[in-house]
Amino acid sequence: MKAKIPFLSQLFQADDGKSLDARFPIRYKLLLIISVVLLLSVSGVIFLASYFFRKDSEVRVKENNIKINEILALKVKSDLQSIRQDVHISAAGIIRNPGQATAIAKELFAVDQSFILIGAYGSGGNTKFEVLNEEFLQNFDYQKSEIQNLMGTIKGKVKKAYSGTTVIWNASPYFRHPMLCLAFPLSESKDTGTILITLVKLDRLLNAFQTSGTVETFLVGDDGSVLAHPDAKIVLSGSKLNDLPIVERMNKAPVDNGQIRYENKEGVYYLGSFKKLGLGGVGVISQVEEERIFAEVNNIQKRNMYLLIIFLALAFIIVYIFAKSLSTPILSLVDSAKRIQNGQFRLNLKATTRDELGVLTNAFVSMGRGLEEREKLKDSFGKFVNTDIAELAAKGQLAIGGERKHVAVFFSDIRSFTSISEKLEPEDVVEFLNQYMSEMVTCVKETGGIIDKFIGDAIMATWGAIRSSGQDSVDAVEASVRMRERLLVFNKGRGSVKKPIIRIGCGINTGYVIAGQIGSSDKMEYTVIGDTVNLASRVESLNKEAGSDILISENTYEEVKHLFNVVSMGEIKVKGKVKAQKIYAVLGRKNDPKCPKTLADLRKLVGIPTPEKKK
C-alpha cells in the first residue's frame, strides 16, 4: 500500500472527516461543452464557402482590371503617338517651308479639329514658329493674345522636353475645355535644342475613359495630375492624385504594371491596377470599389449569419446551463481573491458543488485563515521590529551575519529630558513621549529611513541599511528638517509644566558600517555598528555646545551641500577621534524661501539660547 501524505490528506478532508473527492469532475463538464461547440462548429463551413467565393470574385475583378488597362494603354499610346507623328510631320514641313507655315498648319487643323496649337521653341525661349487654330478661337471665344500669354506659362512646365524626353501635361486648368499639352524634341532639326509643343483637345481620350459597369478608369501623368477621367470636372480642375496609394505604387514600381488593394481618404476600399504607357511617364489606372463587387458575397454572408445566429442561440442556452455551474463559484473565488488582496482574509465562502471547484473553495477558505494569522503575527512583530525588517524576515531574505554598507546614521534626543521627566508623573512622561515619537518616526518613514532603536528619549535611525535610494544623506537631512518643522507645530500651545516645550538635537554622519543581525542565540536584532555610528552619536551631543538643533559631519556635508544651507562650526575635537572633525549646522533647504539666513535666525526660530563662549 502507498503511504498517504499527511498534509494532502488533511487538505482533501471536510470538517466532518468525509472525503472531498470530486463526484462530478470538471473535465467531464468541459468535454460535454466542447462536444456541443464542435458539433456547432460545422457551421464554419458556411464561412469557408463565402470566403472562397469572395476570393474567386476578387481574382476575376483583378483579371478584368488588367485586361481593361492593357486595352486602354494600347489605345491611348496609339493616339498619343499618332498626335506626335502628325505634329512632327507638319512641323518638319513648316521648318522646310517657313513661308507656308499657316497653310500647312491649317491643313492639319482641317484634318483633325482637336489640334489647337502647334509650335517650335528654342532652348533660349525663342519661338521658331507658333500657329493657332483660328476656327477654334472664334468658335469658343478665345483671344489669340490670351493663348500666347498662356504659352509663356506652359513652356516653363515642359522644360524636361529639352533633355530629349516626351512631356505630357494637363493644360485644362488654363482653358475652358479639357486640354492636353504634348512636348517632345524635334529630332529632324539640326538644332537639337528645339522642341515641339502642341495643344490638343482631350475629346478623343475622354471618350475612351467613360465609366462602364463597376470599373472606373483614368489617365495619370508622371506628376500625379489627372489627364483623362470620366468626370471632366476633375480634369478641368487640374487635380492631382499623388496621395492615392495606387498612384504612389505606379510611380515607385520598377515594372510597367501591377495591382493592389487600398483605402482612400474616405475610408473606402478599392481593388486597383495600373499600366504604364512607356511614354512621358503616363499610366492608365483602373479601380473598382470593393463594396460594389462584393455586394452579392456580403448578401450571402448575411444570410449565413442569420442561420449561424440561430444555431449559436441554441448552443448558448445549452452552454449557459453548464457554464453557470462553473462560473458562479469561480466568480465567488475571484471576489474572494480581491478581498484578500485588500487585506480582508476572513472569507464567507461555502462549497456549492462536489467537484474540483468545491475542493478549491474549501482550500481557499483555509488559505484565508492562514493569511489572516500570518498578517496578525506580522503586524504584531512589526510594532517591535522595523516593518521592512519584519517583511524580509518573514520572506526569509534577511541574511544572518553582517554586511559592509554605506549608510547615513542619525541620532536625536530631547534637551533637558531629565529635568522635564522629574516634574511629570511617569504616565504623563510616557504619554508625551509617545506623541513626540509618533511625529518624529513619521518623518523618518516618509524619507525612506528605518528606526534602528529607541534609547529612552533618543532615536537612532539609518538610511541605506536595508535598501538605498542613492541619496541616503539627503534623505537623512531632509528627515531632520521635517522633524524641526513638525516640532514647531507640536510645541504650539505648550509651555506649561504638564506640557513642556520640546527642543531636540540631531546628529548625522555618513560612512561605512557593518549592518546585520547582532545578539545572542536567544535574542537578536538588526542594527549597524562601527566608527560611523559612534561619530554620529558624538556629533549629536555637540548641539548644546554649538547652540544648534541639527549638526552634520563633513562626510554628510559633501553629499548634501548642493541642496541645503549650512553654517560651518569649524573643527571640533570629538571624543574618541584623534583628528579634529569639521562640523556643520543645517539652516534649511536652499529652495525654501523661509529658510533662516543665519545661525542667529535659526536659534530665534526654534528657541535655542545662544551658548556662552568658553575661555
Q: Could you report the per-residue pLDDT of 499-531, keeping only the tens digit for each? A: 888 889 999 999 999 888 777 766 777 888 989
In which region does residue 549 sit, left (phi positive, over 0), alpha (psi from -120 to 50) or beta (all else)?
alpha
Residue 578 pLDDT > 60, yes or no? yes
Q: Could you report the per-residue pLDDT of 84-139, keeping only the tens digit for each? A: 888 888 888 888 888 787 888 888 888 888 888 888 888 777 788 888 888 888 88
Residue 168 Cα distances to 87, 161, 165, 243, angstroms: 14, 10, 10, 20
Share of the chain above pLDDT 90, in %: 14
- Residues 233, 199 contacting (CB under 8 angstroms): no
- The whole-number average pLDDT for the span 435-462 is 90
Kindly report the backbone phi and psi dihedral angles of residue 608, in degrees, each rounded to the nearest multiple of 5, phi listed first: -100, 125
- The dihedral sign for the CA sequence 136, 141, 144, 148: negative
pLDDT category at 615 given cuts 50, 70, 90 is very low
In a 10 Å sphere around its CB, with 0-12 CB exposed, 13-18 middle and 19+ buried, how is residue 223 labelled? Answer: middle
pLDDT category at 163 given cuts 50, 70, 90 is confident
- Residues 156, 171 contacting (CB under 8 angstroms): no
Nearest to residue 170, comparing CAs of 158, 162, 160, 161?
Answer: 158
Range list of H helices, 232-294: 232-236, 245-252, 290-293
Residue 4 pLDDT > 50, yes or no? no
- Residues 21, 314 contacting (CB under 8 angstroms): no
Per-residue DSSP letter, 13: B
The per-residue pLDDT for 7 is: 38
Beta strands, E only, 123-221: 127-132, 167-170, 179-185, 194-201, 215-220
Query: Which domains are seen in the chain, by residue range?
Result: 1-24+300-384 (no CATH), 56-293 (3.30.450.20), 397-606 (3.30.70.1230)
Range picked from 166-175, 391-400, 474-483 for highest mean pLDDT: 474-483
Gap between the Cα atoms of 389 and 383, Å rounded: 11
Position 226: which residue type? V
pLDDT category at 613 given cuts 50, 70, 90 is low
- Residues 168, 280 contacting (CB under 8 angstroms): yes
Distance of CA 534 to the CA centre of its chain: 51
pTM over 0.85: no
Nearest to residue 205, comparing CAs of 271, 258, 284, 279?
Answer: 284
- Residues 155, 197 contacting (CB under 8 angstroms): yes
- The whole-number average pLDDT for the span 412-433 is 84
- The dihedral sign for the CA sequence 149, 153, 154, 155: positive
- The whole-number average pLDDT for the span 21-43 is 61
pLDDT category at 476 given cuts 50, 70, 90 is very high
Gap between the Cα atoms of 117 and 104, Å rounded: 12
pLDDT category at 319 given cuts 50, 70, 90 is low
Q: Could you report the per-residue pLDDT of 193-229, keeping only the tens digit for each? A: 788 888 888 877 777 787 667 788 888 888 888 888 8
CA triplet 595, 597, 598: central angle to 5 degrees? Answer: 125
Question: C-alpha cell of 55?
Answer: 476570393
Beta strands, E only, 415-503: 450-455, 458-463
- Residues 482, 506 contacting (CB under 8 angstroms): no
The strand order across the sheet containing 215-220 reads: 226-228, 215-220, 283-289, 269-276, 257-263
